[in-house]
Structure 1
Amino acid sequence: MRPTTKDLAKAAGVSLATVDRVLNNRPGVRKKTVKAVNEAIEKIGFVRNLSAANLAKSKRYRFRFMLPRRGDLFISELRERISETDRGLAAEGIEISHQEISQADPHLIARTLLKLSPDKVDGIALMAPESPQVRDAAIRLQEKGVQVVHLISGQLEMSDMDFVGIDNRAAGATAARLIGRFICGQQGKVMVVSETMNARDSLERRHGFDQVLRQDYPNLIALPSLETHGDQSRAQEIVLNTLRNNQDVIAAYIMSSEARSPLNALHCRTDPGELVVIAHELTERTRSALLNKEVDAIIAQNPGHLVRSSVRLLRARCDNREIMQSQEQIRIEILIQENLIPDGFAASYSAQ
């Protein structure tokens, strides 16, 4: 039979109350006693039944997703999956919410984070551009006892914090490989479009993209990154100007998760199939673009998996449990017209 807390108390030579304080990291226990309990845990193979303990204490977890206020279709998809996961985990004592934050002002993001406290929230999944202000605020938040995971776009100098998302450098390299294969040796330029290059995911995708293009496809030249800032009129202007000034553009790589604006701009200027186009994330707009041959392939990550993985990581950190890394690896998925999930089954993709 599995050792109980009574067995642990007997093996450590302490009371049940002391065992409870050690297991729950409560103050008032001498280091010598903590060491004795931990040694007894190893000796008898004690494994705590966290579900039973949480049920007995009516423990609840409060997790919040901090998402960009200026988001479009992909962010809407994430919000839907957050609500879906909240409903699914309510019986397990897990409350999941989301909050919009401004992406343009790192000082405002930092102030928003610092207003959070352990009496309001147990953990956050943060999707925000990289900046020293956001980095420092996230560190201080963890020091206060609020767990933090970085969602989709991580902070380079915060490798000790958990990250949920695809390997963005590998995603950019994948885009370069696809374009190189689809182009079939033609000479020309590649237009690269992002919402902002302040985001770590876009920076890493660009690095991976350039590395493969320079190494294996000398026939292709990648142009400097264009930033739309999520503005349709700006996207239209910079895309049209680039195509007007570079008649030899034969491909386009849309790096950011929100592809609607650059795709609409390209649609106004080019015919379907005229350019090889690779975009990120499966949304209503990229789906229709793939079906209409405006896009040749989509590099996607499952939004449902992103949300559930964030929740599992936050809960494990709150419980001081070991993380099953293989379960939290987000796959890079390549979608083409032939393997696109039928529209009626789009919801099942996110629920996988």
Structure 2
Amino acid sequence: MAHRFLIKEIALQAGVGIATVDRVINDRGNVRVQTRMRVEQAIKELEQQERYSGTTGRKLIVDVVVEAPRRFADEIREALEAELPTLAPALFRPRFLLQETMTTQDVVAALRAIAQRGSHGVLLKARDVPEIVDAIGELKRSGIPIVTIFTDIPLSGRIAYAGLDNRVAGATAAYLLTHWLGGQPGHALITMSDERFRGEEEREISFRRALRSRYPQLELIDASGGHGLDRATEKLVNQALDAHAEVLAVYSMGGGNLAILRALEAQGKTPRVYIGHDLDRDNVELLRAGKIHAILYHDLRQDMRAACQHIMHFHRMLPESAISPSSSVVVITPENIPDHVSKRFRR
């Protein structure tokens, strides 16, 4: 396997021993497939880091553990990589574990492996369940700081949360629906990927609370639990819609919008208002096509910058006053898609 990095650099990036890396790059036997893949991924990560990192500064190895659909995980990776050159005096070396679905046991095993091999910090997007809370506590006792990103686990040992205010997002969605629908009675479809992601749960609670006071005649149809994945989400929406007539609106909190729209179209339902989250490629195209009417957007680069700055502050490389605030909720319509997003997702 051709490479230009020291074996010890690859071993540090991969989180394995030097002897293991030597066996992989020299194509010797007795290496598990998963370990070989991890070493190969580490070399790719080092190659990518060469493109955007300086050569001086204190190196900080950070582990990025994310359970999210591929489209959003890619956005997280790109946002972090775009911010790395701005994080002087630190030279961040991210190690990514990005998976569409992870069991609680998968997340706990990943966090314990990080504790065993060492890390300067963890950026974590995971469900708020007791086993993961306990694993975060173990990392804290090992001296490894954890920052939760985009969905919080507040009663854990994490040092900070970086991401939008999900309560504000849910209330904003309710405000938009109330004014765009004008009080017409009917049904609204809501979807979450998994209610154990606290961020989405906070959106849903805030959305329901605001509607109860502003728009009590709007009945909600819940089709949650598809993990933001197209096939599972489409199936759940089809099942939820069977017994209902017209759907006036959709508030999609967990993604899978192409699948949701396919299910609606199959049953001849066209919502008057459709609100989603995040400016990935699918959502930008759906905005341009008029299928989605508003996206609740937050600047992922700002959030990843803040997350890294919290790690820097923990290691006494940055004063607390210099940490960037988390991003604010911005309402995006087809008329104000940010230029940098439009350029990335040109037709």
Q: TM-score, normalised by structure 2?
A: 0.75
**Residue 303 of structure 2 contacts residue 327 of structure 2 at CA under 8 Å; is this kept in 1?**
yes
Counterparts in 2 of 1:270 and 1:346: CA distance versus 1, 3 Å: farther
Counterparts in 2 of 1:268 and 1:86: CA distance versus 1, 3 Å: farther
1:190 equivalent in structure 2: 188
Please state whether the residue corresponding to 1:211 is helix, strand or coil.
helix
**Residue 302 of structure 2 contacts residue 324 of structure 2 at CA under 8 Å; is this kept in 1?**
no
**Residue 151 of structure 2 contacts residue 199 of structure 2 at CA under 8 Å; is this kept in 1?**
yes
Tell me how far apart the structure 2 counterparts of residues 160 and 197 of structure 1 sit (CA, whole Å). 20
Cα offsets for 1:76-131 (capped at 9, x unmatched): 11112223334555884322232235744112211210111386310011001111
The within-5 A match list for 1:334-349 is: 334-342=331-339, 345-347=342-344
Please state whether the residue corresponding to 1:149 is helix, strand or coil.
strand
Unaligned ranges ≥5, structure 2: 1-55
Counterparts in 2 of 1:239 and 1:281: CA distance versus 1, 3 Å: same
Q: Give the counterpart letter for 1:63 in structure 2.
A: V
- What do you get for the CA RMSD once the two structures are aligned? 2.7
Cα offsets for 1:276-295 (capped at 9, x unmatched): 11101111111111111111
1:26 equivalent in structure 2: none
Please state whether the residue corresponding to 1:223 is helix, strand or coil.
strand
Corresponding position: 1:116 with 2:109: no
Cα offsets for 1:245-271 (capped at 9, x unmatched): 110321111011554432443354457
**Residue 153 of structure 1 contacts residue 165 of structure 1 at CA under 8 Å; is this kept in 2?**
yes
Please state whether the residue corresponding to 1:282 is helix, strand or coil.
coil
Tell me how far apart the structure 2 counterparts of residues 337 and 153 of structure 1 sit (CA, whole Å). 27
Corresponding position: 1:276 with 2:257: no
* Residue range with higher mean Cα deviation, 334-343 or 125-134: 334-343
From 286, 290, 293, the counterpart of 2:287 = 290
Q: How many residues align?
A: 290
Corresponding position: 1:300 with 2:297: yes
1:43 equivalent in structure 2: none
* Residue range with higher mean Cα deviation, 85-94 or 125-134: 85-94
How far 1:163 moved relative to its partner? 0.4
Counterparts in 2 of 1:119 and 1:111: CA distance versus 1, 3 Å: closer
1:312 equivalent in structure 2: 309
1:170 equivalent in structure 2: 168
Corresponding position: 1:79 with 2:89: no
Q: Give the counterpart letter for 1:204 in structure 2.
A: E
Tell me how far apart the structure 1 counterparts of residues 262 and 85 of structure 2 sit (CA, whole Å). 35
Q: Give the counterpart letter for 1:165 in structure 2.
A: G
Counterparts in 2 of 1:346 and 1:148: CA distance versus 1, 3 Å: farther
Asked which structure has the greater CA Rg, the reply is 1
Please state whether the residue corresponding to 1:116 is helix, strand or coil.
helix
**Residue 57 of structure 2 contacts residue 88 of structure 2 at CA under 8 Å; is this kept in 1?**
no
**Residue 296 of structure 1 contacts residue 336 of structure 1 at CA under 8 Å; is this kept in 2?**
yes
Please state whether the residue corresponding to 1:338 is helix, strand or coil.
coil
Q: TM-score, normalised by structure 1?
A: 0.74
Please state whether the residue corresponding to 1:134 is helix, strand or coil.
helix
Please state whether the residue corresponding to 1:191 is helix, strand or coil.
strand
Please state whether the residue corresponding to 2:259 is helix, strand or coil.
helix
1:39 equivalent in structure 2: none
**Residue 101 of structure 1 contacts residue 109 of structure 1 at CA under 8 Å; is this kept in 2?**
no
